[in-house]
A and B are shown apart, each in its own frame.
Chain A
Amino acid sequence: MIENRPLITFLAHATIILGIAIVAFPIWITFVAASHDAVRMTQVPIPLWPGDQFFVNLKIALTRGLGGAQGPTAATLLLNSLITALMIAVGKIVISMLSAFAIVYFRFPFRMGFFWMIFVTLMLPVEVRILPTFKVVADLNLLDSYWGMTLPLIASATATFMFRQVFLTIPDEMLEAARIDGAGPMRFFWDILIPMSRTNIAALFVILFIYGWNQYLWPLLITTDSSLYTITIGIKNLLNSAELTPEWNIIMMTALLAMIPPVLVVVTMQKMFVKGLTETDK
């Protein structure tokens, strides 16, 4: 603290608490809805205080399968989400570190060609080219597989872009020192670059994990085997009840369950995340 001004400190706390109240309010509603019965959430006035059905709903959400008893349970859906989110996060980090390494540390023919090939893909989401991409994945026989669900989402340059920035800021002396020790490129990559970009990896991991976790349209399109469905598909399935009353209690309970893993990832990695973002200049 620079100076001690109780009033300003108080104001800071007040503002941030107000901010949290606004930002977290929808989450509170999720929790409230998850603790009432199904019909309560369709009747005015909507409750603002939790009901007594929380554990009943929790049990239903955990044990009842998607679309009835035979369907996969929430645990399976969560596991699928976890697998795909991890594959997307890890896969993207691995391939983009390698290519960023090549682009920054090597001079080779077509370097700029490769560079632009990768960076053109920077922002275009898969949804915009979804039908042609589906055809490609089908032709490769990757429908109904984790690879089909993840590989097309790995094809973008955000992570490569970030690693390139990180590598560019690593002092040249590191490489010279490594060279004096007789280290080859892969040794240098392994012993110097990876440890030095640890925090950036963490930050990217958080972003990509959440990106992967929240995917909906692509995994839905690519899978016909409901045991491969993700939790987001499960929630959408519950929401999609046509003329019936949506089971808000179960939907919101499932939503709460679906929030836990990404929130855990963010919370446990937030220190590293913040560091990873600030310490680009080594």
Chain B
Amino acid sequence: MKLSKFLVGAAAATALTGMASGAMAVTEIQWWHAMGGANGERVNKIAADFNASQSEYKVVPTNKGNYTETMTAAIAAFRAGKQPDIVQVFEVGTATMMAAKGAVYPVYKLMQDEGESFDINAYLPAVVSYYQTSNGKLLSMPFNSSTPVLWYNKDAFKKAGITKVPSTWDEMKTASEKLVASGMKCGFSFGWQSWVMIENYSAWHNLPIGTRENGYAGLDTEFTFNNAAVKNRLQKIYDWSKKGLFKYGGRRGDSLSMFTNGECGMWMNSSAYYGAMKAQAKFDFGQAMLPLDTEVAKKPQNSIIGGATLWVLKGKPKSHYKGVALFLKYLSSPKVQAWWHQETGYVPITTAAYKLSEEQGFYKSNPGTDTAIHELSLNQPTPNSRGLRFGNFVQVRDIINEEMENIWAGKKTASQAMDDAVARGNKLLRKFEKANR
């Protein structure tokens, strides 16, 4: 009775799903991504345009939740032999993906195998260096990348009588003092604090955050970001916070509303907030390069990116990979990249796309939107500023978050907190090394 219907239903449902995927004539390429909301629609448009441009392959984009959920879903699927062709993975997952040699199909090799021409020099060095091997081979295709910038409230600056946008940390202090004196609740805040204040702070001043070329040269790396420069900077910021010059507003972009509602006059976070800023801020705002710690370096090096790349997974039928290669090429074409860059606020991945946007007058009509590109291409990246490659870095970032929160809450000194973060982080590095032997 009930039970037999149940089982018949089960069989029918399985049969149906089986049929649906078997009846396709074109080769379907599964692309799992983590872009929700409006960016999800843009991802769909890219896929649809590619599909319309040829008739052999059909790229099917699927949103699989946030970055973590997407990556874990892909890994779970891989373990079960049901992986997608392409998966979008955030930058901190790079080491995990890279270590899985049997699972990922490096982009340079894919292009080689499929006989597609591929010129690494066409890409912005600071963007691709994050995803290259230590000898310059590209592993995954950068997709959405951004870098932290200093956002500032022009109206508040005017009111406080600040004429020069801060370019050093000393100037950050004086500007913040003026902002607070003019009646603002706080001078500045930041989000994604590990990325902005540890990872980028270090790259910007050409300091390593770990041994072995920030992990590029091997899994036997150790963190070293508990150095005097980082500790000193964080301690000072904590001291400032007692006078209201700095206010902590949460992880990720949670503190955005503090800036857009005029609580804080400056905000350090991803350049990709441009669209949100434009929609929410009722004042005139600008972007500037990150401040320089003059006690640490004479001039800035270059900033590093955040965001995500597309990884190609192994184990799909041979016929898929030609389509994947064609799609990745399509994706990096100047037209697509310039459109993506201008629509989303992410940086373009090729020099050609940057030039095209310039020709189209994008930077003229949207002043400040090229700040990120300037920061990234300030100098040729060094081993300290091309990116980082640490295992278990998702958790390490949260450890850094936790320890930094301990500083802001006054529970630990900056020195203690950073020493603890390094000690806890190193444990995870050893664990990763052990798991990936």
Q: Are A and B in contact, CB atoms below 8 Å, in the complex?
A: yes
Closest CB in chain A relative to B60 CB, distance in Å: 8
Closest CB in chain B relative to A197 CB, distance in Å: 15
Tell me the complex Cα distance, A144–B45, Å.
24
Closest CB in chain B relative to A211 CB, distance in Å: 19
A220 touches B73 (CB 8 A): yes
A245 touches B76 (CB 8 A): no
A145 touches B276 (CB 8 A): no
B40 touches A220 (CB 8 A): no
Q: Which residues of chain A have C-beta atoms less than 8 A from B44's C-beta?
A: 67-68, 70-71
Q: Quick check: is A141 within 8 A (CB to CB) of the other chain?
A: yes
Q: Quick check: is B34 within 8 A (CB to CB) of the other chain?
A: yes
Q: Quick check: is A165 within 8 A (CB to CB) of the other chain?
A: no
Q: Which residue of A lies closest to B308 (CB)?
A: A242
Which residue from B9, B36, B61, B280 sits with its C-beta under 8 Å from A238? B36
Q: Which residues of chain A have C-beta atoms less than 8 A from B43's C-beta?
A: 67
Tell me the complex Cα distance, A11–B197, Å.
55
A241 touches B79 (CB 8 A): no
Q: Which residues of chain B have C-beta atoms less than 8 A from A244's C-beta?
A: 37-39, 275-276
A226 touches B39 (CB 8 A): no
Q: Quick check: is A12 within 8 A (CB to CB) of the other chain?
A: no
Q: Which residue of A lies closest to B64 (CB)?
A: A220
Tell me the complex Cα distance, A38–B61, Å.
26
A142 touches B73 (CB 8 A): no
Task: Report which residue of A144, A237, A239, A242 has the largest number of chain B beta carbons within 10 angstroms of its beta carbon.
Answer: A242
Closest CB in chain B relative to A193 CB, distance in Å: 14
Tell me the complex Cα distance, A226–B82, Å.
16
Q: Quick check: is A143 within 8 A (CB to CB) of the other chain?
A: yes
Q: Which residue of A lies closest to B30 (CB)?
A: A224
Q: Which residue of A lies closest to B42 (CB)?
A: A68
Q: Quick check: is B132 within 8 A (CB to CB) of the other chain?
A: no
Tell me the complex Cα distance, A146–B10, Å.
9
Q: Quick check: is A246 within 8 A (CB to CB) of the other chain?
A: yes
Which one of A39-47, A176-184, A200-208, A257-265 is at the interface?
Answer: A39-47
Closest CB in chain A relative to B231 CB, distance in Å: 29
Closest CB in chain B relative to A43 CB, distance in Å: 6
Tell me the complex Cα distance, A239–B73, Å.
19
A243 touches B146 (CB 8 A): yes
User: Contact string, B33-55, partner A, CB cutoff 8 A, digits 1/0?
Assistant: 01111111101110010000000
A135 touches B80 (CB 8 A): yes
Tell me the complex Cα distance, A66–B65, Å.
12
Q: Quick check: is A138 within 8 A (CB to CB) of the other chain?
A: yes
A70 touches B14 (CB 8 A): no
Q: Quick check: is A147 within 8 A (CB to CB) of the other chain?
A: yes
User: Contact string, B210-236, partner A, CB cutoff 8 A, digits 1/0?
Assistant: 000000000000000000000000000
B253 touches A243 (CB 8 A): yes
B14 touches A68 (CB 8 A): no
Q: Quick check: is B318 within 8 A (CB to CB) of the other chain?
A: no
Q: Which residues of chain B have C-beta atoms less than 8 A from A91's C-beta?
A: 6
Tell me the complex Cα distance, A143–B146, Å.
35
Q: Which residue of B lies closest to A141 (CB)?
A: B14
A224 touches B279 (CB 8 A): no
B257 touches A42 (CB 8 A): yes
Closest CB in chain A relative to B134 CB, distance in Å: 30
Q: Quick check: is B77 within 8 A (CB to CB) of the other chain?
A: yes
Contact A146 to B64, CB < 8 A, known contacts A220-B69, A224-B30, A243-B275? no
Q: Which residues of chain A have C-beta atoms less than 8 A from B261's C-beta?
A: 42-44
Q: Quick check: is B273 within 8 A (CB to CB) of the other chain?
A: yes
Closest CB in chain B relative to A194 CB, distance in Å: 11
B40 touches A245 (CB 8 A): no
B13 touches A243 (CB 8 A): no
A221 touches B17 (CB 8 A): no
Closest CB in chain B relative to A44 CB, distance in Å: 5
Closest CB in chain A relative to B318 CB, distance in Å: 21
Q: Which residues of chain B have C-beta atoms less than 8 A from A42's C-beta?
A: 257, 260-261, 280
User: Contact string, B14-39, partner A, CB cutoff 8 A, digits 1/0?
Assistant: 10011000000000001010111111
User: Contact string, B360-390, partner A, CB cutoff 8 A, digits 1/0?
Assistant: 0000000000000000000000000000000
Report 28 cross-chain contacts, Cβ distance below 8 Å, ordered by A residue: A38-B279, A43-B280, A43-B282, A67-B41, A67-B43, A67-B63, A68-B45, A131-B72, A131-B79, A134-B77, A134-B80, A135-B80, A145-B13, A147-B9, A147-B10, A147-B14, A217-B69, A221-B69, A224-B84, A237-B63, A240-B37, A240-B65, A242-B35, A242-B272, A243-B146, A243-B345, A245-B276, A247-B37
